[in-house]
Amino acid sequence: MTSIIHSKSWKLLEKHHKNMSAVHIRDLFEADPERSSKFSLYFEDLLFDFSKNRITEETLTQLYSLASQSELKSWINKLFNGEKINFTEKRAALHVALRNRSNNPILFDGKDVMPSVNKVLSKMRLFSESVRSGSLKGFTGKKFTSIVNIGIGGSDLGPAMVCHALKSYGKKDIKPIFVSNVDGYDISQALSQCDPETTLFIVASKTFTTQETMTNAYTARKWLTDSIGIEAVKNHFVAISTNEGAVRAFGIDPENMFEFWDWVGGRYSLWSAIGLSIAIYIGMDRFDDLLAGAHEIDNHFRDAPFEKNIPITLAMIGVWHINFFGYNTLAVLPYDQGLSLLPSYLQQADMESNGKFIGRDGEKVCLHTGPIVWGDSGTNGQHAFYQLIHQGTDIIPTDFIMPANSKYPVGSEKDQHHKILFSNFVGQSRALMFGKTKEKVRAELVRSQNDVEGLEEIIPHKSFEGNRPSSSFLLKELCPKSLGRLLAIYEHKIFVQGIIWNINSFDQWGVEYGKQLASLVLPELDKKSETNGFDSSTNNLINYFKKST
């Protein structure tokens, strides 16, 4: 494939960028009072407003043309048709099959995967309902009240984020707990909240060899067996894995093993049996709603024209920011405390997918790929890092996300808390876009104080350039279906950007390399002799650690 930077569309965008560099977003609004209606898209009860970005209709036309020139439509078909687009691992990326509620055949190596997917979903339903009803009990005959999910990466971030976001739908007498870090603090704090007789452990590891996950799993098993005996393991542990031999050796009944497949990437796995903790906590019907919301977006992404397509539009605006303006970070700012884990979830989804410098052609890419994704919930973030977003030397595009209706209405006057939250949601994006001119600051200061001495000195400090781009997602409410839609939008956005940058969004070899080096260090820690087989820094760190423990 010819490098995208040599394409006609790219050259036209470079020329267009020069014209847009001096444009202020507030001027675009002043020039067109109907701007928001032209730069917003709706899907069911979701509003995506991208009008507060430095774009025009010409910008979008050229960006969509760039997407076409990158053969995006063909790549979308490859994704949905089960082709092995993850070519370095010779795997498909069929997370769309996991939530294929239409149940149309999806082929992988010539075989329809939907019977296998549906079989696992049926097994999840039976198991989750038996836990929720109390018909499935622990070794001593007591109902389960704590569900401890032991995983890492996508096997942790996805289920943890969804359970936290949908807490209002959770079963009140079941507490979901998530353990991922191999640091003993994590498993210790989790177990301190649990009673061995009423705790169910879900061990999520495809190979059942993941170091962090299995270390925590064995610690949990010892905690359980020390209290109620080795016979209890089969009653209190289930596995999400493909390695039946290792599962059986651990002591888990293979009947309590839930399958998933090589074509399910970890960061896309919450839709699979990895979501068992979600199904237990909110119920399988609502888990189905989560899948249904994502499936609706899958169909929209596959079928909608580019100019009406939310994931494609979101992705191409990101390309515009990253590759033409040089804005290399993205702040995700959910104005809902339930979504406080969403920035971390999207951080992994995006940065592990597109943090690559080698293209599909094996050559080093000539573009910046993958934004640095970060954020926190509003209004907490406003009192932490918004100062830098408003007046810092780096311009940081932001995605604001909020449900119009709260699941926790409190206060007087029909939920004053939520009105205050929404006013900040709107006010912050407006402030980032408009800014505040020196003239306006001067007028405000003159009106507010009698003593104008030193007034000119303070004006530069209280003025804002504005012209800082943002997009806004407004949902009617945060429910399983709306959350499924939102997550699928971001998944497909990441995929689109990977196509533009000509990289494989579905492998993560950098992560694996760090693990390889860690495996060389671990044996050294049990040796009494001084370590000298590595570089001087590594040797020094290891030897200091051994002396200190």
Task: Establish whether 143 is a catalytic residue.
Answer: no
Q: Which residue has the tokens 């507490």?
A: 175
Residues 6+ apart with CB under 8 A from 461: none
What one-letter code names the amino acid at 238? V
**Bond into 210 cis (ω within 30):** no
- Name the active-site residue from 197, 212, 352, 524: 352
Calpha distance 195→260 (Å, rounded): 30
Write the Ramachandran bin of 43: left for phi over 0, alpha for psi from -120 to 50, otherwise beta: beta
- Asked whether the CA dihedral 487, 366, 57, 427 is positive or negative, the reply is positive
Task: Establish whether 515 is a catalytic residue.
Answer: yes
Q: Write out the H or E segment, with its range, that includes residue 59.
A: helix 57-69
Residue 192: Cβ-neighbour burial (10 angstroms; 0-12, 13-18, 19+): exposed
If we measure between CA atoms, which residue out of 108, 7, 92 comes closest to residue 504?
Answer: 92
* Dihedral over alpha carbons 240, 242, 247, 249 (to 10 degrees): -170
Calpha distance 96→115 (Å, rounded): 14
Task: Establish whether 383 is a catalytic residue.
Answer: yes
For residue 512, the number of C-alpha atoms closer than 13 Å in the C-beta half-sphere is 4
What would the two tokens of residue 421 be? 């939250």
The crossing angle, in degrees rounded to 10, of helices 57-69 and 480-500 is 70
- Name the active-site residue from 14, 515, 527, 530: 515
Calpha distance 273→361 (Å, rounded): 34
Q: How far apart are the first and last CA of the chain?
A: 54
Give CA 240 to chain center in angstroms: 21
Alpha helices in 373-434 (DSSP H): 386-391, 412-434
Known catalytic residues? 352, 383, 515
